[in-house]
Structures are given as structure tokens and as C-alpha cells.
Structure 1
Amino acid sequence: MPRRLAVPAIALALALFGGGTARAQDRTDVFAASLKQSPVFVSDSVTRRVSDADRAALLREVERMPFPTYVVVAPYLSESLTGSEQLALLRDQLGEDGLYVYSDDRGNTLELAAFGVQLPISDHDITMAAYWDHDRDDPALEKLRYALALARGEPRMPKSQRARISPSEGGPMPTFGEAEEEDEEDSSLALPALGVFLLGGALSVTGLERLRRRRKQRPGLRANAHPEINTRERALNQHARLAREIARRRDPSERALELEAAASMALDRRSPIDDLGALVLAQRGREALKGAERQRCFFDPRHKGRATPTRWQSSRATIDVPACSRCAADIAKGEVPESVWDGERPYWKRDTVWARTGFGALREDMRRALAEDRS
């Protein structure tokens, strides 16, 4: 049986991305001091999405916990520590065993670590359940309350109410077309077998009301350019994986951090062409972490192979663009290469941030390009 401490349960949520350069020691000192006064800490900088009412709701959830669990919802803690290291440091400074959970104000960065207490399932499985079962746009409070409920041993929500079903539980695997190489590491996004979860019943905070709020499906990219049906799903997966990989690095490159932020901004725009942009930026961010970022084809960033500078005359201008061997051969023959379509025309014929930047092929600073875009 786990040793139970006398202190109240506490849920901790810490964001890894969002700015701030204070040393980790300084930041955790502040959080530890705050948590000694109250089991839930919400930074003043995130109150736009996590209100005082949300904080009160988290306090009520904390009081129901069977073991100590600690809450901070705050911006970026440290560039030099992984998420688990940050939680371990906070635990050492607070001096209490228990469950430590962190999240940003959107709930998109959520991680748990248990010290000296026994969870009904692993903290990793709880994290992944919150990732799969909730929509990216659901409020952070819902994701946090769900994670705490699972940590208490409450059942996982029924499959019919989940935002997505993981491949390990019968959900679809990401679809890759001929024009793109499959990421050999994507399979690690799938949840391991979760036989310990009960499939009956759902938390009151979710259910049909959450399903009604889920965003409607939108028409996709031109099918003859590339099937789009799983583009957003894959973009979310790639961005989540990039965020986790950055969190594990002691000194992630500035380029990877910029691309992660840009991919997040693109996902928030919520259209098929923006989802594709987010996917490309997240993939480039993962490459940048490994020091192996490759140039993409201007006409379709999912085309295989090395892209080389190629002189191309469009209906607007003559410019040098990176083109894969197939597209370069089309240009040499005087033909228009097969491109990504945005609606009923090639994407580069539209006045969008993606047309102006070629999904990053023509401009490196995509975070600023997206911030400056008003379309």
C-alpha cells in the first residue's frame, strides 16, 4: 500500500514553452514557496485561459485526491531541464512526496511524475490518455481534471466520447502518401495496451456536451495533390512529439524552438492548408533538433528527395525556388509541377502566408511570418 502523507493532495501544472529566461532554480523556488501556501498555483501570466474559477475548480479536485499531488499552471520554466527533471527539482525544494503534474495554459503540454506514491496506472499512461482522449482545443481545466481523475483510479472515458482512438486500441494509423517518407518513430506515439483502464462510464466534465463543442470538419486540400484526411491528426502528433523531444533536451537549438512555436501558431489557425503548414514546420523542428534539417520542395513540401535551387517562371514572376528532382524535371520541360492545392487552385496562386513563404522554402523565420500575417 502506498504511504499517504498528511498534507492535502496537490496537482502541479508547468508549461515548458511560452517565454521567460529565469533560471530553473529561481523559478522552482517561487513555485515551491507558493505551493506551501496553497496546493494550486496559477501564474498571473496565464489567467486569460485559466481563470480564478478554474483555479478554484482545481482546488476542489485536489481535495478529492487520495495522496498528495501538487498544482502549478505557469509559463516556461527552463531551457536546460527536461520535464521530469523540473518536477524532481520542485519536489526536492518542496520537500514532500506526492503526485506532480504540469501543463501549460492550453493543456497541450501535460506531464505527471509520482514520488513516493502508487498510482493505479503509470503516470505516462495518464499523460497519453489525456493526449488522445481530449481535443487539442479543449480547455486546460478539462484535461487537468481528467488526468487527476485517472490518477485517483476513476475510469477512462468511453471510446465513443474520445477525440481520437490510438492505433494500439484499434484507431487508424497515420496515412502516408507516395510523396512522403513515413516517420519511423511515429509508432511511439501510440499508447501501450491499457488493459488497466475500465471502458465504462465517463467523467461529468466530458461527455456529449464536449462532443457538441468539437469543431466541425472542413473541406480538405485538393485530393489530386495529396490526400488530406489525416493531415491535422498527423500535424498534432508531430507537434506533440516535437514538444516532448525539446523538453527532454538540456539545450535545444533556437531553430527547433522557433519551429515549434511556429507550428503551434499554424495549428491555432485551423484550416487544412494551415494544418499542412504546421505538419511541415513540426517535422522540420524535429530535424533541427538532430542537426539535420532538410530543404523542402517549394511545390509540395511532402515530395521526397533533396530540393535544389531551380529557376522558375510563374504567372507572377521569375524566381529561384527549391525543387525536388521530379519538379525540376517538369520545369525543364516547360511544364507546371504538381503542387499542393489550396481550395480550387495551386496554393502559390493564393495570397496567403504559405504562398509568400513556400511553407518555409522561401523564408526561414516562419514564426514572425505567421505573427505578421493578417489573413
Structure 2
Amino acid sequence: MPDDGYIDTVDEVVAALEQDPILVQQIAGNGHTDEVIAWLREHTEDLDFTVYVALTGDLKDLPESGASDELARLLHARLDEPGVYVVSAGGLPTVVTYDVELEALDVKMEASRAKNEAMEADRHSGLAPTGEAALLVRAAAPDTIGPGDHAALRQEPGMALVRQDRDVDFLWQPPDPWPLSATPIIAGLVVWAVAMVLLRPVADRIVPGLGPARRRDAARTDARQAEATALQEAQSEARTATRRLSKALRTAADAETELLARATLSRDLAEELGDSDDLLEVIGADMLATTATRHLAGRTDWRPCFFDPRHGRANTKAMIANLTVPACSRCAGQVSEGKEPEGLLVPRGQRGAGTSYWKQASVWSRTGYGALADDFADQVAAQRRNGGRR
């Protein structure tokens, strides 16, 4: 801990967590730092796994974009401990899990559902980042969510938060009413907005660059930025999954020879594909490593959601195109409603761009990223030996 008590580097966060798994900087405590710490201790001390919580301000050695995700990755790499990591570096918190019977995606989905319920049922203006972290901690508790299965609920954490904790100040954003001095500014903005709406057709005719063409260009730019962000996030997930598999292999000397061989092949393929500029390949690297790690741990029935493996573990099935496939609850629900699930799409610039990946002939659609094939790694290796042809 620095002399002034203010933490602003990753090294200082790591040093603090080595002493105490709960770190809440005053700048991130929503005006109630001591209450936040006490609440977090109460809700994590009896769990069977360690929950690391790091709520800090901006850290000077992290990028501005994706700082919380990068901090979570670095903390696990440096601490090298299993557990649930709830992390925020100057923004909304994220959660990752390592070597515990719990999927981070399931925790996020349950926390999101609970947040929506809390917002609908309560008069407050919204959850503060500390409240977001509290919901993630609640969702990770074993009496709230089943291992790897966000549908196996035994509590309603969103409603419990509203009923039991509605007066816990640190959970909620303070009201932010417009001051009277801002009234002229608001009025001016309203007049400007109305004028822009009324005059936009004129502007489009006079200056074509201000019209539909520019809006289309902006939309394309936004789409490219969204795809670039998705690729970076997938690459980070793939690297993390590959490191986790490498660690599992070092401690799996007693595993069956065939299982070890397939896990080693999966690691090699994941290392090869994880830095690709093709999102489908990067997700393939993540699933190769994740599936092999689960199988080494004895969870040989683990399968990802066929429609989008980023949804996590499949906990049910769905019928699509006369084929029964493993699916997460959300995708299966959309299929039962006669809708096509909001799944993984082929990226721009590839054949079939914008369509569901499983509609295009490829090793990924044939295997469903491991959802349909026990020999997932073997099929990917064969495709690579064939020169990468689909």
C-alpha cells in the first residue's frame, strides 16, 4: 500500500489483495467505503471459494478502454489463485471465474436479470457501481445460482436486494435532479433539437454530406468499431482460457493418455488460433481450450451453447433445422417462440457476413464449437492440415 493510501497501479492492487481479498478504494466507495467493505465481507466470508473484490479508480498503467477486463486478467495472472474476481477500474465492475464450478457468464446473466427486477420494483434512480458489484457477489453465491447453470435458481437476488437492502445507501446512485440554474440550458437544448429535426430535410438538400450518406458512413464506422471491440475481447478470453489449460495440463499427469493427448492438441491449436484476426477462429481457440480444461477436470459432458459458445455452458436442448443441439436457456427459449436465436454471426468481409455462423459450411458449424462433436480438436486439426479450407 502506498504511503498516501491511494492505489493507482496494478502492482499496488495485487499487493493489497495478497493481504486482503476485499479492496475498495475510497474513490470507488460511493461515499460509504466502510459500509461497502463490511457488506462484502459478510456476503463472501462463508463461501467455499475465495471472492476477490477490487473496486478502484482509474489505474495509470491500464488502457482507457476495457480497463476492468484487463485488470481482472492481470490480477488472476499475478495472484494465480482460483476464485471469483469482481473487478472495477474506474467504471462498472466485471466478473471472471477461475478454476471454480461457476461460469462467469452465468453470474453476469443472473446479476443482469436481478438488476432489471430491482429497477422495476424500486423507486431509486439506479444502481451505483458498488451496487453492481454487490449484485455480482450475490449472483455468485452457491445458494443463488447452480454451478454452470443460471436457470437453477433457488433465490431471487434482485428482489432480495430490494426487500432487504433498499435502505443500504451504497447500493444506489444518488438522485441527480436538474438544478434551477440549468433550466435555460435545457430550454436551449430543446429548441436546438427541435430546429435540427425540422431543418434536417433542408440541410440534406443543401449540404448532401450532412444527410443520409453521412449517417450511413457513421453506422458503418460504428459497426467496424463494435466488431474490433468484440475481436479484442475474444482474443483476451482465448488467451486466458489457453493459459488455464496449460496450467491444468501441468497438474494432470494421472489423466488418461488419450485425454491428455487431445488436451495437448487443443492447447496447441488454441495457441495457433488465439491471435487470429478472424473472430470465428478466435472463439474456436477459446472453446478448444475451455472444453479441454473442463474434460481434464472430469466434466466430460460439458458442451457450449451451439448458437453462440460465448453464452457459456449448454443446459438444455433445442431443435433447429431438424437437428437437436445443446443450447443455453435463452437461445432455447427463443427457438421455442419460433425465433432464430441471437447468436454468433459471420463477421463482415467473409462469405455469409451477418448470418448465423452455423448456416455456413465450416469446421465450426460442423462441430458447433464442440457442442456437436467429441472429436472437436481432431476435426479442427484436420481442417488446418487441409490448408485451412472449410
TM-score past 0.5 threshold: no
Query: TM-score, structure 2 length as denominator?
Result: 0.38
Greater relative contact order (CA < 8 Å, ≥ 6 in sequence): 1
Larger Cα-atom Rg: 2
The structure carrying a bigger helix percent of its residues is: 2
Query: TM-score, structure 1 length as denominator?
Result: 0.39
